[in-house]
Amino acid sequence: MKKIINHPNHVVSELLVGMAKAHPELKYTEKLEVISRKDKTKKKVGVVSGGGSGHEPAHAGYVGTGMLDAAVAGNVFSSPSPDRIIKGIEEANSGEGVLLVIKNYSGDIMNFGMAKDMAEMDDIRVESVVVKDDVAVPDSTYSTGRRGIAGTVFVHKIAGAKAETGANLDEVKAAAEKAIANIRSMGMAMTSCTLPAVGKPGFVLGDDEVEIGMGIHGEPGVERTTVKTAAEVAQILLDKILADYDYSNSEVALLVNGLGATPLMELYILNNEVEKILTEKGIKIHRTFVGNYMTALEMSGCSLTLMKLDDELKELLDAPCNTPALKIF
Q: Indicate which residue of 7, 59, 217, 286 is catalytic.
A: 217
Residue 130 has, within 13 A of its CA and on its CB side, a CA count of 16
Is residue 268 helix, strand or coil? helix
What span, in angstroms and rounded, lies between the C-alpha atoms of 16 and 242?
A: 37
Helices within the chain (DSSP H only): 11-22, 82-92, 106-121, 152-164, 169-182, 230-244, 264-280, 311-318
- Where along the sequence are the contacts to a second copy (CB under 8 A)? 1-7, 11, 14-19, 21-23, 53-54, 56-57, 61, 66-67, 157, 190-191, 207-208, 210, 227, 229-231, 233, 256, 260-273, 275, 288-290, 292, 295, 297-298, 300, 302, 317, 320-323, 326-329
Question: Is 286 one of the catalytic residues?
Answer: no
Closest to a second copy by CB, 53 vs 111, is: 53
Closest to a second copy by CB, 14 vs 122, is: 14
**Nearest distance in Å: CB 251, a second copy:** 14
What span, in angstroms and rounded, lies between the C-alpha atoms of 42 and 94?
A: 8
Closest to a second copy by CB, 15 vs 124, is: 15
Q: Give the number of other Cβ atoms within 10 Å of residue 64's Cβ.
A: 23
**Nearest distance in Å: CB 156, a second copy:** 10
Question: Is 7 one of the catalytic residues?
Answer: no
Closest to a second copy by CB, 85 vs 316, is: 316
**Nearest distance in Å: CB 199, a second copy:** 11
Q: Indicate which residue of 10, 23, 55, 156 is catalytic.
A: 55
Question: Over 169-218, what HEC string results?
Answer: HHHHHHHHHHHHHHEEEEEEECCCCECCCCCCECCCCCCCEEEECCCCCC
Helix (H) or strand (E) holding 70: strand 70-76
Closest to a second copy by CB, 6 vs 246, is: 6
Annotated catalytic sites, by residue? 55, 217
